Amino acid sequence: MSFKANDGTEVKACAEIFADRAEIGLIAMCVSFLIVGVNFALKVLLVELIKSLRLKTVTIETTYTMITIFVGQFINTAVLIVLNNASFKDFDGGAGPLSLIFSVGTETDFSVTWYRTVGTTIMRTMTSQAIWPLIEFVMFYGILNFTRCLDRKFTNDTFKTNALSVQAYVDIYAGPEYLIHYRFAAILLQIGVAFCYGCTMPPLYGIACVAFIILYINERCLVCYYYREPPSFDERLTVLTLEIVKWIPFIMLPMAFWQLGNR
């Protein structure tokens, strides 16, 4: 339903305006969860690809996995969404290769509309990424319990099983493997996105802080009561993570110069 203003033009009713805004907000939230879902699928794919390389030691395999997961998720979360909405007509006049590849975008700089669209999507995505460890635990814990109940035919007797060997029984009732590389990659992702866009979107620092608190409490509890005993790693993975963190602020410098340069 629409109404006519004093000058004769038709305007939308308040209900239609609020309905349109709610629909846009729902779509934006779905996009954020979709990015998180793609990050999870990317993690699983990269883990399997690195395992197929058959590297010499578990530490080397874990190191390669952590780096590839971080780089892949950072590109998917912080780079592709920006390029998808970017317009390069100021660089090549709208006829160059960049404009042909990224022909959908309309944002030529970090303008007000950029923060309303792309900026809010990044913040929603990182918020979803912060609470993802809790969602992941609930999801996989439910699947694990359902598998155990199915094995004992939905009875309370844990000694009743359809497993054909002791190892098969242990695999069902033991917890999942602890993927330490995925945790390091999640920490690097929060730090990388926060430093990349946090200069003009300071709530990203708060979101990263909340993500670290959730991850710390979640991992402390699950390592004790949920996961299998993890294998012994040396300090190289932790040292490598700290070395990568040292270089992340250098990503912030050109981005902050570009963002603050838009008056």
| pLDDT at residue 84 in the model | 80
| pLDDT at residue 92 in the model | 66
SS (H, E, C) 129-164: HHHHHHHHHHHHHHHHHHHHHHHCCCCCCCCCCCCC
Low-confidence ranges of the chain (pLDDT < 50): 2-3
Return the structure tokens found at 217: 């409490």
Amino acid present at 7: D
Domain range annotation of the chain: 31-87+118-260
| pLDDT at residue 8 in the model | 56
**Rounded to whole angstroms, what are the CA distances from 59 to 33, 51, 62, 213, 231?**
31, 12, 5, 26, 10
Tens of pLDDT, residue by residue over 207-262, are 999 999 999 999 899 888 888 877 677 778 888 889 999 988 888 888 888 888 87
